[in-house]
Amino acid sequence: MSPTDLTVLPVGQLMTRDPVTCSPDTPIQSAAELMADHQISSICVVDPDGFRGLVTVRDMNAKVIAHGVDPAGPVSAVMTVDRTTLPPSALGLDVLHMMMERRIGHVPIVDAGRLVGIVTQTDLTRFQALSSADLVRRVVEASDVPAMARVTAEIPTLLAQLVGTGTRHEVITRLITDIADTVTRCLLKRAEDELGAPPVPYLWLACGSQGRQEQTGVSDQDNCLILSDDVTDADMPYFAKLAQIVSDGLHACGYVYCPGDMMATNTRWCQPLRVWRGYFDGWIAKPSPEAQMLASVMFDLRPIGGDEDLFADLQADTLAKAARNSIFVAHMTANSLKHAPPLGVFNRLPRGPLDMKHNGVVPVVDLGRLYALQGQVLPVNTRARIEAAIATGALSKTGGADLLDAYDLIATTRLRHQARQIRVGQGPDNDLLPATLSGFERSHLRDAFVVVKTMQSAIGSGKGALG
């Protein structure tokens, strides 16, 4: 199924909510002015009892202009009363068929007599045109940062659309992350165009959810710069300016500044390769709480733009050194257990909001990172790490299959929650109320959390490799 296959999408996820309306006694001219002010081609007519009809630009032309209906008269005189409507449960395919059969361009969505939305040909065209590839193209073609920001502002709509068409969670987050990667590379190019060619090779890397290719509708920026060891003190101002240009641009495009200052604008994270090697060696040799936290973040590094040779050996060498240090592995194991699934007494879900990030996906992310360390596997994506852990024997096939299923359910539930918020005009977040789920959904989500909790217990007892 295509990620933009509107034929299987429920109309409730496709329609424009809160359409412009007027009462039946509104003067025709006033209705026309409303349409012009809102730049729309139709207006819905409602009264206290519900939906009454629809007036389109075609109605205005045919009845007012062509046949001389008085513009001061009520809009009910020119509205189409017997307009066929659809319920929110209808599919996009139903809208297409109705438009083709009746040669219309507007379909009101009515639920129990009440107008809840409208679908127009423009909505269908916009839906079919909106894709991650389209957003990537428009980011590349953007003339300036504000133009790029207007494109990235459409990412929540894309997320809701992809969720609505049943696209798998790892595909959705990959597509959304691809847009962030493109934005970053375009900003790097703009920085070089402004500052001139870099004095030495460099590599811009992402960590966090962008590094793992797991971005959703809520993402800040986490990044760093690795510079060639040929860099001099005189070169550093260039990279400070480059980092500021890119970071400011990302912030303007909705990837807000990292609250923990894990950004290339922080001089600590804009250093030559030899310094980065020292960072990792120090964290592994002396695994303090800060070292564990930083190592966890940095194990998710992924090159975005620049000279990737600066990272290849560093990643492989660090994994090998870390895996050989049993004390470091023990500390990383303890660190991976800090985020627990949201289960209470008798493994019950709490009544209050579930943090689907820190208590939902993060426990699995931490487990995946630990399995990658044990198996010395290079992927940074969580699902890929679990699959690689199964392949290398760091995780049993049975335990791995259970963990993958649990992760898929948790991550999908999180995205569905964000998509529901986006569709009603809310900003997406990670706080899910269990009461918004069906009993069936709550039961399966609880089971998924129990799987994660069991895997954490196995890791904590030293049986993690057995799953």
Report domain extents, the chain.
6-125, 130-319, 337-466
Distances from the Cα of 166 to the Cαs of 7, 159, 181, 277, in angstroms? Answer: 12, 11, 24, 43
Common-topology check for domains 130-319 and 337-466: no
Task: Tell me which of 1.20.120, 2.60.120, 2.50.20, 1.10.3470 is the CATH number of domain 337-466.
Answer: 1.20.120
pLDDT of 415:
97
Whether the CB-CB separation of 460 and 363 falls below 8 Å is answered with no
pLDDT of 7:
67
Q: Which residues of the chain have pLDDT under 70?
A: 1-7, 82-83, 128-129, 462-467
Rounded Cα distance, 404 and 272, in Å: 38
Task: Tell me which of 2.30.30.760, 3.30.460.10, 3.40.50.300, 3.30.450.90 is the CATH number of domain 130-319.
Answer: 3.30.460.10
- The model's pLDDT over 256-308, given as tens digits with 9 standing for 90+, comes to 999 999 999 999 999 999 999 999 999 998 888 888 888 888 889 999 999 99
Following CA atoms 66, 70, 76, 80 in sequence, which dihedral angle do they give, to the nearest 10 degrees?
0
Query: Which of 7, 44, 215 lies closest to 127, judged by CA?
Result: 7
pLDDT of 84:
81
Class of domain 6-125: alpha beta
Q: What are the beta bridge partners of residue 271?
A: 226
pLDDT of 83:
67
pLDDT of 3:
42
Whether the CB-CB separation of 25 and 70 falls below 8 Å is answered with no
